[in-house]
Amino acid sequence: MLMPTSLQKPSSNETRSGRRSEAPPDAPPLARAIEVIGVPMTYAGNCEIYGEGEPADHLYKVVRGAVRTSKVLADGRRQIGSFYLPGDIFGLEIGNDHAFSAEAITDSKVLVVRRSTLVGLASFDSTITQEMWKLAGRELARIQGHILLLVKNAQERVVSFLLEMADHTPEGRPIELPMSRQDIADYLGLTVETVSRTMTALDRDGAIHFLTAHSVMVRQRSALARLSA
């Protein structure tokens, strides 16, 4: 069904102790700021991080795990807006309220900062403002890319999705797909069956090779990319 099997509240508000190995000192100020002042939170799989319609006054950065943003339409269908993997920043909605809700896909750890805190910081460091604009720009570009995705055929959509996920993985390593086939289907505007069949076909044709249902090797990304136009 569409309902997640469990939608519990955050499992724990993690202690702030411990090493913050992420974010090298030469990282951009915004990322640095989030590392320094962000409050770590952990969420179990399928746990809601924020809901559609709630005021958007926090910014989040994925440390571990994976997050999806989604929206349930009037007729019950679900549309997934984006997947966010470690290092990605999400929660930036320029309106006052979140248009999509966000849920942890697997057990996840995120850093949370108040939007107002960042706005305050921005008045000291104007590069933070610039970075907020850049972030908004990336978000815009991402969504525009999603539109272009949705007018392609099934194989092109699936391949585009795999290549997006590949961007977060060093060449030569298997690509991890933490989300379910249903999540992928709702992201691509297809059904689970079509996603599954398409992936099977790609595997059979040698374009990709599934190690498990959630781990796939791409031999030549450039070759795969030719199937996504």
Partner DNA sequence: CGACCATTTGATATGGATCAAGCGATGTGG
Partner DNA sequence: CCACATCGCTTGATCCATATCAAATGGTCG
- Specify which residues 62 forms β-bridges with: 110
Cα(141)–Cα(184) distance, rounded to whole angstroms?
20
DSSP-derived 3-state class of residue 74:
coil
Q: Are 179 and 192 in contact (CB under 8 A)?
A: no
Closest to its own copies by CB, 76 vs 206, is 76
Question: Is 189 a binder of DNA (CB under 7 A)?
Answer: yes
Q: What does the H/E/C string look like for 99-125?
A: CCEEEECCCEEEEEEEHHHHHHHHCCC
Closest to DNA by CB, 41 vs 158, is 158
Which position among 7, 27, 36, 94 is part of the footprint of its own copies (CB under 8 A)? 94
DSSP secondary structure letter of residue 166:
H
Cα(165)–Cα(176) distance, rounded to whole angstroms?
8
| Interface pattern 4-23 for DNA (x via CB under 7 A) | -x------------------
Closest to DNA by CB, 91 vs 178, is 178
Cα(161)–Cα(7) distance, rounded to whole angstroms?
26
Per CB under 8 A, which region of 1-9, 27-35, 66-74, 193-201 contacts its own copies? 66-74
The interface partner of residue 127, options being DNA, its own copies, none and the CB cut-off 5 to 8 Å by kind, is none
Per CB under 7 A, which region of 58-66, 83-91, 100-108, 184-192 contacts DNA? 184-192
Cα(76)–Cα(226) distance, rounded to whole angstroms?
35
Span 141-170, contacts to its own copies by CB under 8 A: 141, 143-144, 146-148, 150-151
Q: Are 217 and 207 in contact (CB under 8 A)?
A: no
Question: Is 228 a binder of DNA (CB under 7 A)?
Answer: no
User: Quick one: tokens of 148?
Assistant: 């272009």
Question: Is 124 a binder of its own copies (CB under 8 A)?
Answer: no
Cα(175)–Cα(169) distance, rounded to whole angstroms?
6
Shortest distance, position 146 Cβ to its own copies, whole Å? 6
Question: Is 81 a binder of its own copies (CB under 8 A)?
Answer: yes
Q: Show Cβ contacts of residue 126 under 8 Å, excluding neighbours closer than 6 positions.
A: none
Shortest distance, position 196 Cβ to its own copies, whole Å? 19
Question: Is 214 a binder of DNA (CB under 7 A)?
Answer: yes
Residues near its own copies (CB under 8 A) are: 71, 73-75, 77, 79, 81, 93-95, 99-100, 133-134, 136-137, 139-141, 143-144, 146-148, 150-151, 189, 229
Residues near DNA (CB under 7 A) are: 5, 153-155, 180-182, 189-197, 199-200, 210, 212-214
